[in-house]
């Protein structure tokens, strides 16, 4: 959601992969990227790579914080 909100506020997507997926629209691109992420999650569980899942969760948490900082910066008056 933070990516979609940022895009609506005029921010740009930094990931070339996600930008390619967004050729079908911002919401579709984000949804497709989450589908890819969910598939990779399944593969990690199947291969018993739970530490990779943990690392990716930290990465996504940092990404959400970064998106929120950018959103607040854009919405900040002045």
pLDDT in tens, 45-70: 999 999 999 999 999 999 999 999 99
Query: What is the average per-residue pLDDT within 21-40?
Result: 90
In whole angstroms, what is the distance from residue 51 CA to residue 76 CA?
38
The percent of residues in the chain predicted with pLDDT above 90, rounded, is: 63
How many Cβ atoms are within 10 Å of 6's Cβ, its own excluded?
19
In whole angstroms, what is the distance from residue 3 CA to residue 68 CA?
9
pLDDT of residue 30: 85
In the predicted structure, residue 78 carries a pLDDT above the cut 80: no
What's this model's pTM, rounded to 2 decimal places? 0.78
pLDDT of residue 4: 86
In whole angstroms, what is the distance from residue 33 CA to residue 62 CA?
17
Asked if 33 and 21 count as a contact pair (C-beta separation under 8 A), the reply is yes
């Amino acid at each position: 959601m933070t990516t979609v909100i940022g895009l609506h506020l005029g921010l740009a997507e930094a990931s070339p992969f996600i930008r390619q997926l967004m050729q079908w629209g911002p919401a579709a691109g984000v949804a497709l990227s989450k589908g890819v992420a969910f598939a990779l999650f399944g593969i990690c569980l199947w291969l018993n790579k739970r530490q990779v899942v943990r690392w990716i969760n930290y990465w996504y948490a940092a990404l959400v914080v970064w998106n929120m900082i950018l959103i607040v910066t854009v919405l900040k008056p002045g």
